[in-house]
Amino acid sequence: MKVIKKAMKMREVGVLVPLLLLWIITYFINHAFFTSTNMIALFRSVSITALGAIGAAFVFCGGMMDVSAGSVYGLAGMLAAIAMKDWGMPVAAAILAGLLVGVAFGLVNSLIINGFEVPAFIATLGTQYIARGIVNVISEGRSYTGFPDGFNAIGGMGFFGIPWSIYISLMVAVIAAYVLKYTVFGRSLMAVGGNPETARTCGINVKLIRNAAYIINAVLCALAGILSTARLETAQAAAGSGWEMTVIAAAIIGGVSMYGGSATILGAVIGVGIMETLTVSMTMIKVNAYWQRVVIGIVIILAVGMDTFKRKRMSGGK
């Protein structure tokens, strides 16, 4: 009983309920929903997007914002592909090159935002264009396929018929949740997001913490881009367009506050579940793809609206 009571109090429960409802509704409309193939496909999408949402959780938690995620995702996947196909690099080196894209853009974002004090939204909007531009320049707009088997295997099935991406994502989520809750870095990040001036006065290096959050975020986005390339066995110049909005929405739906100082990794992952299920179920019940975007848009606004409302209510009543 106590366990159940405690569980009910966790804020993630508030997000889990709509996810389960969504699943049940979809099941009633289309019984094919709960088949193992469909569930594995769903969880595989969730696992890749979750990496981005975890990154977004770190950035939001520090009271910041990043809209370059989709382009970094695209560039990392593309660079890994070109490294293998055009430069003949081994798989491991190509993956490393892709991850370095994340490190590089994390650093560039930090430098622009914390060094030159350009507002985060504008700075990352700029790097979103830059990264997408580079994708098109280096690929000349072409798609790449025919990667070594070793690379494609990463996007395939692992132990017990479960895709590797799910194992990877699960591992990242556990580590991220631990870092956020039990490390000095996580506590500092929360403090920085909650009140940067107080954090600085307490001797916390605010810029360093924020830079680290940006780098973690960009590396996770790069990892997602590489996993997605491996899973599709294709690198496309347009890969990840608009993905930043999906991860931001997922994180916010999952209870990560846009205003900083509050984040839960589990919540962010469940948020991704809701976003991905929405897409899958709308497809299954044959909602026109254009209308799907309208629905997603509404969901994003509702999620942010709820976050703002919660904030207001908390600061309003004494």
Partner 1 sequence: MTDMSGRAVLEMKHITKSFSGVTALNDVSFSAYEGEILALCGENGAGKSTLMKILSGSYPEGSYEGQIFVNGNLCRFASPAQSEKMGIGMIYQEISMHLDLTVAENIFIGRWPIKGRKVDWKEMNEQAVTFMELVGLQAEPDMILRQMSASQQQLVSIARALSKDPKILVLDEPTSPLTQKESRMLFEILHSLKERGIACILITHKMEEVFENADRVTVLRDGNIISSCRLSETCEKKVITDMVGREISNYYPKEKAEIGDVVMEVKDFSVPHPSIPNRKIIDQVSFQLHRGEILGIAGLVGAGRSELVNAIFGKDPRLSGEIWIDGRKASIKSPADAMKNGIALLTEDRKKDGIVAEMSIRENLTMPLLEKVSRNGIMDRKREKDISRRYFEELGVKAPGTETLMRQLSGGNQQKVVLGKWIARDPKILILDEPTRGIDVGAKYEIYKIMVKLAREGKGIIMISSELPELMSMADRIMVISDQRIRGILKEGEWTQEKIMELSAMWETPVTNAGGHES
Residues lying near partner 1 in the complex (CB under 8 A) are found at 182-185, 187-188, 190-191, 194-195, 197-205, 261-262, 314-315, 317-318
* CB atoms inside a 10 Å sphere around CB 3: 7
DSSP-derived letter for residue 33 is: G
We find the least distance from the C-beta atom of residue 115 to partner 1, in angstroms, to be 16
Tokens of 170: 């699960």
Q: Least CB distance from residue 291 to partner 1, whole Å?
A: 38
Compare residues 108 and 190 and give the one whose CB is closer to partner 1. Answer: 190
Contact predicate 284/30, CB 8 Å: yes
Residue closer to partner 1, measured from CB, 61 or 76: 61
Q: 3-class SS at 140? A: coil
Structure tokens at 279: 């897409």
Could you tell me if 302 and 94 are in contact, meaning their C-beta atoms sit under 8 angstroms apart? no
Cα dihedral across residues 244, 13, 62, 269: positive or negative: negative
Cα 86 to Cα 75, 83, 196, 252: the distances in Å are: 15, 6, 46, 39
Please say which residue, 121 or 178, places its beta carbon nearer to partner 1. Answer: 178
Query: Which amino acid is present at 303?
Result: A
* Minimal distance, residue 183 CB to partner 1, in Å: 5
Residue 33 Cβ vs partner 1, minimum distance, rounded to whole Å? 38
CB of 259 to partner 1, least distance (A): 9
Helices (H), ranges, 195-242? 196-201, 206-232
CB-nearer residue toward partner 1: 72 or 190: 190
Minimum Å gap between C-beta 177 and partner 1 is: 14
If you ran DSSP here, which 8-state letter would residue 195 be given? -
Closest to partner 1 by CB, 85 vs 187, is 187
Instruction: Judge contact between 61 and 220, C-beta under 8 A.
Output: no
Q: Which is nearer to partner 1, 36 or 315 (CB)?
A: 315
Question: Which one, 35 or 183, has the nearer CB to partner 1?
Answer: 183
Q: Which two tokens stand for residue 171?
A: 């591992």
The helix/strand/coil state of 158 is coil
Nearer to partner 1, 81 or 265 (CB): 265
How near is the Cβ of 313 to partner 1 at its closest, in Å? Answer: 12
Amino acid symbol at 275: M
Whole-angstrom Cα distance, residue 114 to residue 50? 26
The minimum distance between CB 199 and partner 1, in angstroms, equals 7
Give Cβ neighbours of residue 149 (< 8 Å, ≥ 6 apart).
Answer: none
Give the bridge partners for 145, in sequence order.
234
